[in-house]
Amino acid sequence: MTSLRAYVLAWAVRRKIRARLGPMLDVARVRRTLEGPAFPEPGGVTYEPGSVGGIPCERVRRGAGEDRPRLFYLHGGGFIACSPRTHRPLTGYFAQRGFDVFVPDYRLAPEHPFPAALDDALAAWRAVSAGGPAVIAGDSAGGNLALALMLRARDAGLPLPRAAALFSPATDMLGSGQSYRTNAGRDAMFDPEGLRRLAPLYLAGADPAGPLVSPLYADLAGLPPLLVHVGERELLRDDSSRLAEAARAAGVSVDLTVFPVVPHVWQFAHGFLPEARRSLDAAAAFLRAHAADAAKPADAAAQVDQT
């Protein structure tokens, strides 16, 4: 059952976020809009700056010295905005539930276009995975990077995550899903033309249908189990539903849930919205179940170097 708060949040996002983003022609304005404080950081956890694999990284955890599942989290932001700090409402939530969370601060476009963010994610993942089993999660552009990272790791013979949780992942840079048209007026956050303008900033001439840019078109065989959550009214709805279909066809286990009414990456609002808590709790349970033996002490290669 959809909560009344879901309608309230969608209205607020439309009024305060979509109106400010506008046509997304101004990168600085997009960054100010997406990086402004909106939701509180969860308490009872530490946010530790440092680096992993030579990449700036924030480690988020509750306490120290305990064996716990290790989560590699890739933040969203349209490839041009946000950071580990902006996504503390999400990473802190997972830390509160016992995960040791590593959040790389990958380089952003347009200053650093594709494949800079993916290269950074892979370098950090190489170090984290050297310390033992881990799981992965990401939202929006971070969901895209999580998929591309798994493809590169698979092809390079690197360890794969035990499982992946993806929140409204961007999987098709061509924007060819029907939801780009049917949800053009219903998406609370994005205008379809504005969203399409982000792609060239990230791609800088790269093929928008390339498998590491649009994982929807990749060979997905061999990927770990996926949990995918998306909003029914999102422009990116079909990026998720078509990904689930393609992954299942490739023999990958997929748990797809489409939530009504909620806006893009509604999980940020877990302090207010029951659908956000339901999504994050399901993701945490899914990741923990697949990381049953992943809570091992990380060796030096997987530690965040303190700075």
* pLDDT score, position 1: 83
**Interval 23-50 mean pLDDT:** 93
* pLDDT score, position 293: 54
- Kindly list the distances between the CA atom of residue 58 and the CA atoms of 89, 106, 265, in Å, as whole numbers in the listed order: 13, 11, 21
Asked if residue 121 belongs to a domain, the reply is: yes
Q: Which domain holds residue 175?
A: 4-36+52-297
* pLDDT score, position 294: 46
**Interval 218-232 mean pLDDT:** 98
**Does a cis peptide bond (omega within 30 degrees of 0) precede residue 110?**
yes
* pLDDT score, position 112: 98
For residue 36, is pLDDT > 80?
Answer: yes
* Torsion of the alpha carbons at 97, 102, 103 and 104, rounded to the nearest 10: -170
Q: Which one of the listed residues 75, 87, 229, 264 is annotated catalytic? A: 264
**Interval 206-213 mean pLDDT:** 98
Asked if residue 58 belongs to a domain, the reply is: yes
Whether the Cβ atoms of residue 266 and residue 114 lie closer than 8 Å to each other: no
Write down the pTM of the prediction: 0.95
Whether the Cβ atoms of residue 242 and residue 220 lie closer than 8 Å to each other: no
Tokens of 48: 């530790």
Whether the Cβ atoms of residue 48 and residue 219 lie closer than 8 Å to each other: no
Distance CA 62, CA 258 (A): 31
Asked if residue 42 belongs to a domain, the reply is: no
Asked if residue 302 belongs to a domain, the reply is: no
| Catalytic residue list contains 140 | yes
**Interval 213-233 mean pLDDT:** 98
Helix, strand, coil: what percent of the chain each, to 5? 40, 15, 45
Looking at the chain, which runs of residues are DSSP E strands?
Answer: 46-52, 55-61, 70-74, 100-104, 135-139, 164-167, 226-231, 254-259, 305-306
Asked if residue 304 belongs to a domain, the reply is: no
DSSP assignment of 192-253? HHHHHHHHHHHHTT--TTSTTT-GGGS--TTPPPEEEEEETT-TTHHHHHHHHHHHHHTT--
Longest dimension (CA), the chain: 50
* pLDDT score, position 169: 98
State the CATH number of the domain containing residue 281: 3.40.50.1820
Q: Tell me the average pLDDT of the chain.
A: 94
For residue 203, is pLDDT > 80?
Answer: yes
For residue 50, is pLDDT > 50?
Answer: yes
Asked if residue 16 belongs to a domain, the reply is: yes
* pLDDT score, position 297: 44
Give pLDDT tens digits for 124-140: 999 999 999 999 999 99
| Catalytic residue list contains 87 | no
Q: Which one of the listed residues 234, 241, 270, 279 is annotated catalytic? A: 234
| Range from 17-21, 106-110, 211-215, 296-300 carrying the lowest mean pLDDT | 296-300
Asked if residue 43 belongs to a domain, the reply is: no
- Which percentage of the chain shows pLDDT scores above 90? 88
Q: Which one of the listed residues 51, 83, 129, 140 is annotated catalytic? A: 140
The H or E element that residue 155 is part of is: helix 141-156
Nearest to 201 by CA among 32, 25, 18: 25
Tokens of 33: 């809009």
Whether the Cβ atoms of residue 85 and residue 58 lie closer than 8 Å to each other: yes
* pLDDT score, position 65: 60
* pLDDT score, position 9: 97
| Catalytic residue list contains 264 | yes
Give pLDDT tens digits for 141-197: 999 999 999 999 999 999 999 999 999 999 999 999 999 999 999 999 999 988 988
Asked if residue 41 belongs to a domain, the reply is: no
**Does a cis peptide bond (omega within 30 degrees of 0) precede residue 161?**
no
Distance CA 275, CA 142 (A): 21
Give the chain's domain count. Answer: 1
